[in-house]
Amino acid sequence: MSDERGAGETASLGTLGARPPFYRDATVVKWLSQVVGLVLVLLGLFFLASQAQNNLEERDIATGYDFLGTALGSDLGSGIDTNPDTSGRALWAGMVNTIRLAIAGIALATILGVLVGVGRLSRNWIVSRTSSVFVETLRNIPLLVQIILIFVVIASLPRVTTDQGPIHGWLHVSNTGVSIPRVTIGDGFYQWIIFVIAGAALGRWAMRRQERRHDLTGQQTYPWLSFAGVVLAFAAVGWFAHPALGWVGAIFDAIASGIDALTPPIVQVVISLLAIAAAVQWIRRFLASHRTPAGLTKLIDDDWFRIIFAGAGAVLVILFVTLGWPGLSSWVINSGRDLFEVIADKFGDGRTGSPIAAYRPDIEQLGNFPNYGPAGLNLIQALAAVYFGVVLYTAAFIAEVVRGGILAVPKGQSEAAQALGLRRTTMLRRVILPQAFRVILPPLGNQYLNLTKNTSLAIAIGYSDVVQVGQTVYNQTGKTLEVVSIWMLFYLACSLTISVVVNFFNVRMRIVER
Amino acid sequence: MWGSDSDSRDAKQGRDGKGKHDVSISDATVAVSDELAARDDMIVCREVDKWFGDFQALSGISATIKEQEIVVVLGPSGSGKSTWIRCINRLEVHQSGQIIVDGIELSNDLRNIEKIRSEVGMVFQQFNLFPHLTVMDNITLAPIWVRRKSRSEAEEQALALLERVGIPEQAQKFPGQLSGGQQQRVAIARALAMEPRVMLFDEPTSALDPEMIKEVLDVMEELARTGMTMMVVTHEMGFAREVADRIIFMEDGEIVEVGTPEHFFTEPEEERTKLFLSQVL
């Protein structure tokens, strides 16, 4: 090695076209440092894992995920299953609670945040002051304090009584929380939704047609109105005609039995072929994107790395399904069959009931005190506290993001639009918002991630989200590491999903520059 | 909402504006030739005042710009040239006095503002093209959404305008992909697409590299030859000398001197004008 270095130094300076010594060769250094880095990280992870394994074995702590199938000795406060059979089922119920909380929270926080953010820019003194106070108060108090505050405030409300409540029993507010009418999917919902989807497809076509008509003639054709009109018409017809689609369930039944007829080797072959096809397709596209009229451009080492990586990925997938985890194939078969059986079951055998059902909240008295019955949509105290806590807190930040995005559009843009005689709504729609949205999106995605992760504070007031349920599970089973790993994977999956969605829009909004 | 009485008010003001040739010529258009004086008034300003807080940006601006006239506004920076030109299509709101464009008075009446803005084209120092739209979409946006033209018609017109400003091949590019001079020419085409009767230029070449100034000035000269009414705020003395029918010199928010280029550059009367010219020439 020292010989090489000596030779390299004498040859490098002043000699044109000579290869530098390897430790100064940018390509070699780049590859070498990446490989060394990767090896070090893998070694580190391996070391930590083996240490944990050793320590757990020394203390006689059994590891593994068998506890997911064992019975859980306690009930959950709320969720899809308040009396789960197993720990796994309980964790699943907790995950569903978290996901519901996150989705509903993101929806309301976005609406509220946009309103407050625009409100802060309003020329109306009262609106802008109120919005400022909203933002400055909420973002400067820790979320945990806010959640507990809302919890305490709800607790100080009067008890549930059997009287009608405001608005003739359509709304109940008490120290147990809020109960509002529940709108649920009814008997014929899935058959009806086929009509709505067909309507949406046709409505899209109608919308395109109206857009083209506007382009051709310049007439105002209201494309969105025709879209909504077609969808509504289909929904209305489908409301009464949906029993005609009673045969749809049989199709899914047939698919389910088709999947059931497969054997594991077939699935392994199919997955392997799919992996190869995906890799080949990716490499072809990649090469096509590097092809210029003058022929294939020179591939830099990064490009080669990507191509090798795609091939290696396909090989890894094949090794995994054939050798790594042969049980995967039968799992795929089983869950595929189950999935289609469930769908077939949703359609049922010629259902005739109405697609959507609504119920008025009820109050029942089982023990000494009256309480909300199952008919209404009950926002119980703990849920209300977490929900409004994260929504208000995140809305304050979203408001600032929105305000910043609108202010980031240079004043010259609105001046140019005004000078062209554009009306205010056209200007906002065509000039300001497309540019503001581009600035707003990335930090908005961050706020969505924050909101989702902040729902874990539910543990402070005992709402049964995935963290609270997980705590119950590891208190009973002692499988702390395993539960933590499930939490991590769950939140990772949620965050990645949000990131993918936000990035999708982000790429679409990008502005082309030189 | 405003109904017919605002219509009749417009008409009355329009007649007033045209009926007072002698007055407007006597105050600020001293050096207008007889031929020019006989034309219709395009922009009439009477005693226009504008404050930014305590600072008076315009004080008692009175001037009349005739149809097809090319007026260049000169003056040191901070003299209120840009503020004045921006008042004419209400990007700034004047606090007192009258501004009448083509017989329509600028007031709080939204319909008047809309009408004037669709008749007055404006070109900005910083181009202000819409960066998220292609050159084609930049130009066709207003014809489609304000003039309610069909897209094919608007695109045909846009191509013709791009041809006129000399960059038809850039139609599908985004503003960020063009040079400064090309962007400013697109901005001119965008303003022309509304078929305005007056064009306002607010320092159109000040943000350009020296080698790109000429291509923009060439387009403006061509426009002047076609008989467009133009009001140009600029520091390009060459352009002022060559193209202008009249030069208005401003300082500290006031009109100091008005005259033909010949008069202005060779025998200015006011001391402040002489001082300014000695600094820039």
pLDDT at B143: 93
- Tell me the per-residue pLDDT of A404-421, one tens digit each, with 9 for 90 and over: 999 999 999 999 999 999
Report which secondary-structure segment, H or E, holds B13.
helix B3-19
Tell me what the mean pLDDT of segment A306-331 comes to.
84
CB A178 within 8 A of CB A150: no
> Can you tell me the distance from the alpha carbon of A117 to that of A446, in angstroms, rounded to the nearest whole number?
17
pLDDT at A190: 85
Reply yes or no on whether the pLDDT at B18 is more than 90: no
Tell me what the mean pLDDT of segment A12-17 comes to.
58
> Can you tell me the distance from the alpha carbon of B33 to that of A326, in angstroms, rounded to the nearest whole number?
97
Interface probe for A, chosen from B145, B146, B174 (most Cβ of A below 10 Å), is B145
pLDDT at B66: 92
Per the CB < 8 Å rule, is B146 touching A423? yes
CB A174 within 8 A of CB A158: yes
Of the candidates A412, A421, A431, the beta carbon closest to that of B124 is on: A412
Q: Which residue has the higher pLDDT, A73 or B83?
A: B83
Q: What is the DSSP string of B23-36?
A: HHHHHH-TT--HHH
As a residue count, chain A comes to 514
pLDDT at A450: 95
> Can you tell me the distance from the alpha carbon of A485 to that of A133, in angstroms, rounded to the nearest whole number?
40
Reply yes or no on whether the pLDDT at A497 is more than 90: yes
Name the nearest CA neighbour of A336 among A402, A243, A271: A271
pLDDT at B3: 39
Measured in angstroms, the CA of A411 and the nearest CA of chain B are apart by 9
Q: Where are the domains of chain A?
A: 7-58, 91-162+382-509, 189-245, 250-345
> Can you tell me the distance from the alpha carbon of A292 to that of B50, in angstroms, rounded to the nearest whole number?
58
Strands (E), B131-228: 198-202
- Tell me the per-residue pLDDT of A355-385, one tens digit each, with 9 for 90 and over: 888 888 888 887 788 888 878 888 888 999 9
Is the four-CA dihedral B263, B266, B270, B275 of positive or negative sign?
Answer: positive
pLDDT at A443: 94
Of the candidates B128, B149, B153, the beta carbon closest to that of A412 is on: B128
pLDDT at A42: 93
Confidence at A4, pLDDT banded by 50, 70, 90: very low
Residues of B in contact with A210 (CB under 8 A): none
Q: What is the pTM of this model?
A: 0.73
Residues of A in contact with B92 (CB under 8 A): none
pLDDT at A513: 58
Q: Which residue(s) pair with B100 in the sheet?
A: B44, B105
pLDDT at A2: 44
> Can you tell me the distance from the alpha carbon of A511 to that of A438, in angstroms, rounded to the nearest whole number?
8
A402's CB contacts (< 8 A; 6+ apart) are A113, A114, A117, A118, A436, A440
Tell me what the mean pLDDT of segment A217-231 comes to.
85
pLDDT at A70: 86
pLDDT at B19: 37
Per the CB < 8 Å rule, is B117 touching A418? yes
Name the nearest CA neighbour of A459 among A197, A147, A177, A162: A147
Confidence at A149, pLDDT banded by 50, 70, 90: very high
Interface probe for B, chosen from A420, A425, A439 (most Cβ of B below 10 Å), is A420
Of the candidates A215, A219, A421, the beta carbon closest to that of B142 is on: A421
Confidence at B20, pLDDT banded by 50, 70, 90: very low
Tell me what the mean pLDDT of segment A313-321 comes to.
88
> Can you tell me the distance from the alpha carbon of A336 to that of A258, in angstroms, rounded to the nearest whole number?
10
Per the CB < 8 Å rule, is B124 touching A415? yes
Confidence at A164, pLDDT banded by 50, 70, 90: low
Of the candidates B117, B150, B174, the beta carbon closest to that of A421 is on: B117
Residue A18 DSSP one-character state? P
Tell me what the mean pLDDT of segment B134-150 comes to.
92
pLDDT at B33: 64
Reply yes or no on whether the pLDDT at A107 is more than 90: yes
Q: Give the Cβ contact number of residue A239 at 10 Å.
A: 15
Reply yes or no on whether the pLDDT at A97 is more than 60: yes
Measure CA B113 to chain center: 16
Residues of A in contact with B91 (CB under 8 A): 415, 418-419
Buried/exposed A378-391: b ≥16 CB within 10 Å, e otherwise? bbbbbbbbbbbbbb
pLDDT at B255: 93
Measured in angstroms, the CA of A436 and the nearest CA of chain B are apart by 11
Q: Where are the alpha helices (DSSP H) in A325-380?
A: 327-347
**Over pLDDT 90: what percentage of chain A?**
39
What is the amino acid identity at position B23? V
Residues of A in contact with B130 (CB under 8 A): 413, 416-417, 431, 435
pLDDT at B17: 39
SS3 B63: strand
Reply yes or no on whether the pLDDT at B182 is more than 90: yes
Tell me what the mean pLDDT of segment B196-208 comes to.
93
Residues of A in contact with B141 (CB under 8 A): 420, 422, 430-431
CB A4 within 8 A of CB A22: yes
- Tell me the per-residue pLDDT of B153-165, one tens digit each, with 9 for 90 and over: 999 999 999 999 9
CB B164 within 8 A of CB B203: no
Residue pairs between chains A and B whose CB atoms are closer than 8 Å: 93
Architecture in CATH for domain A91-162+382-509? Orthogonal Bundle (1.10)
Tell me what the mean pLDDT of segment A193-218 comes to.
88
Query: B253: burial class by Cβ within 10 Å (0-12, 13-18, 19+)?
Result: buried
CB A393 within 8 A of CB A143: yes
> Can you tell me the distance from the alpha carbon of A478 to that of A494, in angstroms, rounded to the nearest whole number?
26
Per the CB < 8 Å rule, is A418 touching B91? yes
As a residue count, chain B comes to 281
Query: A404: burial class by Cβ within 10 Å (0-12, 13-18, 19+)?
Result: middle
Measure CA A475 to chain center: 29
Of the candidates B174, B187, B191, the beta carbon closest to that of A513 is on: B174
Most confident of A51-65, A67-81, A447-461: A447-461
Tell me what the mean pLDDT of segment A176-194 comes to.
84
- Taking a contact as any Cβ pair under 8 Å apart, which residues of chain B between 13 and 72 contact chain A? none
Tell me what the mean pLDDT of segment B101-111 comes to.
88
Residues of B in contact with A424 (CB under 8 A): none
The answer to whether the complex's ipTM is over 0.95 is no
Q: What is the DSSP string of A371-422?
A: EE-SSSEEEEHHHHHHHHHHHHHHHHHHHHHHHHHHHHS-HHHHHHHHHTT-
Buried/exposed A186-225: b ≥16 CB within 10 Å, e otherwise? ebbbbbbbebbeebeeebeebbeebeeebbeebeebebee
> Can you tell me the distance from the alpha carbon of B202 to that of A385, in angstroms, rounded to the nearest whole number?
56
Q: Which residue(s) pair with B251 in the sheet?
A: B254
Reply yes or no on whether the pLDDT at B11 is more than 50: no
Measured in angstroms, the CA of B240 and the nearest CA of chain A are apart by 24
